[in-house]
Amino acid sequence: MLSTRLRSIATAGLLAIVAFGLYAIHIGTPPLSTAESELLLQLNRIGSGADGFPLFFHVADERWLQPVAVYFTSLVSLLTASSSPGRLAAAAIGALDVALMFLLCRRLLASPSIAAGAALLLMATPAHIVFARTGVDAIYPLPIVLVWLIALAAYFEIGDRRLAAAGGFALGIGVYSHPSAPVTMGLLLVVTMAAIYLSGRRSAAHVAAPAAAFLAPLLLAAVWFAANPTAYPDTFGRWAIHAAHLRSPIEGIRAFVNWNTLGTRLSLYWGFFDPSWLFLDGPASTAAPLRGASPFLFATVVALVAGVSQRLRAGFLPMTLILLGGVTVAPLAASTFGGAHSIGDALVVVPLVTAVAADGVANWLVREHARWRWLAWGLMAALLIDAAWSASVYF
C-alpha cells in the first residue's frame, strides 16, 4: 500500500503528464512572436559562447531579458531536438504548475479529489493554457509562487521557520523570472511577513527569516551590477527602482505619489479587476496572446466568490491573508509598468484565484444541507462545460 505522500506525488506526476500532453498539442504550428524570436536569439548566443553566461540578456536598445526563461529554454534545447524549444519549455513549466497546484491544495484542503479538481481547473484556465503554449517568460513566475505557497502552508501548520525561509528564498529566485517579478516578489514578501506577524509568531527569528532568505539570491544581482553598472538602468532600473531614485529616494517618493501618475496607475489597477474582462470578454485585441478570450473560465467567478466568502467567515487565518493578499498585490507591477489588462505581467494571480476557488467548492461539498452539495456538483459541471467550449475554440 502506497503511503499518502507517495500517492500524492504519483497523482501530481500523472496530472503533470496530462497537462504537458495538452499544452504540447500542435505546439510548433503558429508563427513565432517577436518575444519568442528574441528568446531564441539569446539561445544562439549562449550556444556560441560569445558572451559567456550573463545574468541578464541584452536584446536591443532598452530591451533586456531575465535569466530564468533563457537558461531553462537553453536546457530544453540541449535535451531535445525541438524546433520550438521556447514553447516546449513553457509547456513543461505549465505542467509543473499543475502538479504543484495539486500538492498545494492537497495540503490546504482535506480532499485529494478537490485538490485534483483544482489542478484540473488550473490546467483548463485559458490564461494558463495560452501562456503555457507560448514561448515567452510570463509563465515562469508561477511555479515559484506555488512553491512559496506550499512552503508557507507547511510553515503555518508546523511552525518551523526554515519553511518560512524556504518560501522567502523561492521569492528571491523568482525575482529573476520576469520583468514584473522584482516588484511582485517584493510585495509578496511583505504579505508573507505581515501574515507571520499577525499569526502570533512575532519573534525576529520568524519574521526576518523569509526576508533574509529573500535577499540571498539578490546578492548575485548586486555582484553582477557592480561589474556591469551600465546594465542597471534598463533592467532593475526599469523593472523595480529607477537609478535616479536610488541616488535620491526622496525624489523617487515624490515621483511615485505624483497625482497624475498615481491616478493612471490606480485606474489601471482597478481596471484589472473588472469582472467583464476577467471572466467574460477578455482583452479587446485579438492580436493579444488570449486572442480576445477571458483569462478565466466564466464559472470560476462563482467558485471564487464562494471561496472568498468561506475564508472571510472563518475569521483570521494566515493562509487567507497570503492568498487574498497575493491576489491584491499581483496586478500592482502590471499597473505600474504595464498597460491595461496586462495579464502577462500579473499571471501569478491565476494560481492564487484557482486555490481560493477550489476552497469555495470544497466548502460547498461538506455543508450539511444537500442543496449546497448539489450546487457544488452543478458548478463543477458548469466548469467542465466551460472548459470544453474554451478548449474547442482555442485549439
- pLDDT over threshold 90, residue 53: no
Is 52 or 49 the better-scoring residue by pLDDT?
52
Three-state SS at 58: strand
How many other CB atoms are found less than 10 A from the CB of residue 328?
16
Distances (CA, A) of 369 to 117, 165, 374: 22, 42, 9
Say how far apart CA 390 and CA 387 lie, in whole Å: 5
Q: Does 287 have pLDDT greater than 60? A: no
- What 8-state DSSP symbol labels residue 33? P
Tell me: the pLDDT tens digits for 9-49?
999 999 999 999 999 988 776 666 666 666 666 666 665 55
pLDDT of residue 74: 86
Closest CA to 26 of 91, 76, 77, 73: 91
**pLDDT (0 to 100) of residue 153:** 96
Q: Calculate the CA 394 to chain-centre distance.
A: 22
The proportion of the chain whose per-residue pLDDT surpasses 70, expressed as a percent, equals 86
Structure confidence by residue, pLDDT tens digits, 142-168 = 999 999 999 999 999 999 999 999 999
Mean pLDDT of 66-85: 86
Q: In the chain, what percentage of residues exceed pLDDT 90?
A: 54
CB atoms within 10 A of CB 51: 11
Q: What is the mean pLDDT of the chain?
A: 87
Q: Per-residue pLDDT tens for 326-370?
A: 999 999 988 887 677 889 899 999 999 999 999 999 999 888 788
Distant-in-sequence, close-in-space partners of 22: CB < 8 Å, separation ≥ 6: 123, 129
Highest mean pLDDT: which range of 49-53, 184-188, 260-264: 184-188
- pTM of the entire predicted model: 0.92
pLDDT value of residue 257: 64
Is the per-residue pLDDT at 290 higher than 90? Answer: no
